[in-house]
């Protein structure tokens, strides 16, 4: 193969001689990258002059910028192949976090891979997909699960349409079955109070106060992301209450800390004075535990730690603490139920749903309204309000 020599001041244009040739021939080499594709090279050889090469190069550049250059065999890509490319692009662009990638991989591997991974994206059939979605309900999945799986699949197809892999996403606006009823998030006041009385008996003081902090309605990962600098005691007026800043999370994927779920999740709350004792318990005992385990105590160190190691508490251990209390009093409560209970109590006491939305870190008031769970207290509140008005 003849050696191509680049021409000075003429990027991407080369000259070369074949064996036995007296005159040079000219060629073009131009690397480029389409969305969702690896880097490629456009090559054209056998041109008679540098001017001819420039014409070919200019034509290619014009087509490239006009989005007329399409990947070869794009219709032959499979759902699995396109998912991998889409995932990589979304992660590199910052649209997907590590946790999003992890959850998406779980959904794809468990529910989609064996059914559609080898299906060409251009051959996706609406009837087959509807049958697949219906089968998820038959397997006992809840509607929320089915919506999440469908959301991932629709993302794959929409991204394919956007990038011209297919003309149209043929499975959009699919009919979703109801699926299994979701687990009840309803929690009665009596059960709530009994559960915490039991927690105080069966948990040590430090772990009890850690669990109590979740009564403020934050997410489990937000609790675990609190550092010493996240707490500020306010001294204005006679409040002496604590301001708590939520700006980092810890979860099974981001054990060392990560960004919060959404922009609206970045917020602070001011806890009621009733929480002062538990907040101060957590701060004091956390430092004591860290010192006993020869750990640091810096402003940026995590507050919620394991008693045995002084290291940041594993996310699953919060669930174990809840399970221990639930077993002792036979009232099943998990961390997220306290978030729903907080929203329910706040809304039934006529606190503006926008205020509750901001406290919980929701992006939309509609999400906050969904967190309301009608329990006996809320029903009696309505009954008292309308008594004697008919």
How far is Cα 226 from Cα 248, in angstroms, rounded to an integer?
7
User: Which of 154-158, 160-164, 342-346 is predicted most confidently?
Assistant: 154-158
Q: How far is CA 289 from CA 242, 293, 294, 308, in A?
A: 22, 6, 9, 8
Residues with Cβ within 8 Å of residue 16, at least 6 apart in sequence: 2, 3, 4, 5, 24, 25, 26, 27, 45
CB 373 within 8 A of CB 185: yes
Residue 168 belongs to some domain of the structure: no
Residue 170 belongs to some domain of the structure: no
Asked whether the predicted pLDDT for residue 203 surpasses 90, the reply is yes
Q: What confidence category does residue 288 fall into, taking pLDDT thresholds of 50, 70 and 90?
A: very high
Number of domains in the chain: 3
- Residue 15: CB atoms within 10 A of its CB come to 20
Confidence (pLDDT) at 390: 42
Question: Is the CA virtual torsion 217, 289, 197, 252 positive or negative?
Answer: positive
Confidence (pLDDT) at 164: 73
CB 184 within 8 A of CB 218: no
Residue 140 belongs to some domain of the structure: yes
Average pLDDT score over residue span 92-113: 90
Name the packing angle between helices 126-138 and 143-162 (round to 10°): 160
Tokens of 319: 């669930």
Average pLDDT score over residue span 87-95: 86
Pair 154, 209 in one domain: no
Residue 137 belongs to some domain of the structure: yes
Residue in the block written with tokens 């901001």: 358
Residue 108 belongs to some domain of the structure: yes
Confidence (pLDDT) at 387: 47
Pair 132, 39 in one domain: no
Q: Which residue has the higher pLDDT, 336 or 167?
A: 336
Q: What share of the chain is helix, strand, coil (3-state, %, to 5)?
A: 50, 10, 35
Looking at 51, 69, 87, the residue that finishes a domain is: 69
Pair 281, 305 in one domain: yes
Confidence (pLDDT) at 96: 87
Q: Which candidate, 338, 311, 310, 334, places its Cα nearest to that of 324? A: 334
How far is Cα 314 from Cα 334, in angstroms, rounded to an integer?
16
Average pLDDT score over residue span 44-53: 92
Asked whether the predicted pLDDT for residue 261 surpasses 90, the reply is no
CATH code assigned at 108: 1.10.150.130
Three-class SS of 337-381: HHHHHHHHHHHHCCCCHHHHHHHHCCCCHHHHHHCCCCCHHHHHH
Pair 194, 272 in one domain: yes
Tokens of 235: 């001294």
CATH code assigned at 249: 1.10.443.10
Residue 136: give the domain boundaries.
Answer: 75-162
Residue 180 belongs to some domain of the structure: no
Q: Considering the chain, what percentage of its residues have pLDDT values greater than 90?
A: 54
Confidence (pLDDT) at 194: 96
Residue in the block written with tokens 């749903």: 353
Looking at 41, 69, 97, the residue that finishes a domain is: 69
Helix (H) / strand (E) element for 143: namely: helix 143-162
Pair 282, 148 in one domain: no
Pair 224, 369 in one domain: yes
Looking at 69, 104, 124, the residue that finishes a domain is: 69
The β-bridge relationship of strands 40-47 and 231-233 is unpaired
Confidence (pLDDT) at 378: 53
Q: Which candidate, 147, 153, 144, 149, places its Cα nearest to that of 171? A: 153
Confidence (pLDDT) at 95: 84
Tokens of 257: 């800390």
Confidence (pLDDT) at 285: 97
Residues with Cβ within 8 Å of residue 224, at least 6 apart in sequence: 249, 250, 251, 302, 304, 312, 313, 315, 318
Pair 65, 117 in one domain: no
Residue 174 belongs to some domain of the structure: no
Confidence (pLDDT) at 18: 86
Asked whether the predicted pLDDT for residue 270 surpasses 80, the reply is yes
Pair 44, 80 in one domain: no
Pair 63, 103 in one domain: no
Residue 224 belongs to some domain of the structure: yes
Pair 65, 95 in one domain: no
Average pLDDT score over residue span 307-311: 95
Asked whether the predicted pLDDT for residue 281 surpasses 80, the reply is yes
Average pLDDT score over residue span 263-270: 92
Burial of 377 (0-12, 13-18, 19+ CB in 10 A): middle
- Phi/psi at 7 (5° precision): -85, 135
Pair 295, 248 in one domain: yes
Report the half-sphere exposure of 62 (CA within 13 A, side-chain side).
Answer: 6
Q: Which candidate, 83, 91, 164, places its Cα nearest to that of 122? A: 164
Confidence (pLDDT) at 184: 67
Pair 242, 367 in one domain: yes
How far is Cα 190 from Cα 173, in angstroms, rounded to an integer?
43
Q: How far is CA 354 from CA 23, 146, 214, 317, in A?
A: 78, 29, 21, 32
The pTM of this model reads 0.68
Task: Indicate the average pLDDT of the chain.
Answer: 87
């Amino acid at each position: 193969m003849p050696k191509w020599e680049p021409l000075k001041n003429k990027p991407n244009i080369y000259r070369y001689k074949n064996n036995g040739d007296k005159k040079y021939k000219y060629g073009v080499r131009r690397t480029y990258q389409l969305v969702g594709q690896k880097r490629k090279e456009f090559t054209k050889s056998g041109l008679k002059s540098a001017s001819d090469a420039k014409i070919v190069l200019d034509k290619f550049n014009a087509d490239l910028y006009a989005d007329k250059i399409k990947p070869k065999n794009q219709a032959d890509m499979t759902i699995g192949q396109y998912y991998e490319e889409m995932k990589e692009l979304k992660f590199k662009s910052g649209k997907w976090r590590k946790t999003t990638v992890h959850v998406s991989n779980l959904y794809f591997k468990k529910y989609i891979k064996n059914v559609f991974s080898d299906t060409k994206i251009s051959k996706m059939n609406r009837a087959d997909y509807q049958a697949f979605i219906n089968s998820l309900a038959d397997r006992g999945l809840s509607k929320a699960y089915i919506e999440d799986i469908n959301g991932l699949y629709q993302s794959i197809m929409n991204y394919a349409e956007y990038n011209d892999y297919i003309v149209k996403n043929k499975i959009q606006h699919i009919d979703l079955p109801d699926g299994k009823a979701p687990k009840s998030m309803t929690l009665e006041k009596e059960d709530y109070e009994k559960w915490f009385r039991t927690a105080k008996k069966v948990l040590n003081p430090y772990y009890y106060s850690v669990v109590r902090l979740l009564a403020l309605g934050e997410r489990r990962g937000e609790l675990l992301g609190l550092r010493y600098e996240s707490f500020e005691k306010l001294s204005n007026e006679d409040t002496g209450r604590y301001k708590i800043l939520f700006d980092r999370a810890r979860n099974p994927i981001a054990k060392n800390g990560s960004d919060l779920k959404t922009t609206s999740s970045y917020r602070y709350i001011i806890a009621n004075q009733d929480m002062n004792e538990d907040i101060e318990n957590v701060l004091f005992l956390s430092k004591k535990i860290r010192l006993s385990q020869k750990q640091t105590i810096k402003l940026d160190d995590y507050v919620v730690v394991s008693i045995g190691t002084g290291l940041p508490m594993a996310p699953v251990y919060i669930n174990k603490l809840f399970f221990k209390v639930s077993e002792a009093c036979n009232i099943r409560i998990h961390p997220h139920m306290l978030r729903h209970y907080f929203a329910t109590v706040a809304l039934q006491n006529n606190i503006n749903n926008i205020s509750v939305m901001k406290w919980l870190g929701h992006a939309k008031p509609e999400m906050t309204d969904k967190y309301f769970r009608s329990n006996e207290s809320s029903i009696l509140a309505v009954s008292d309000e309308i008594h004697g008005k008919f």
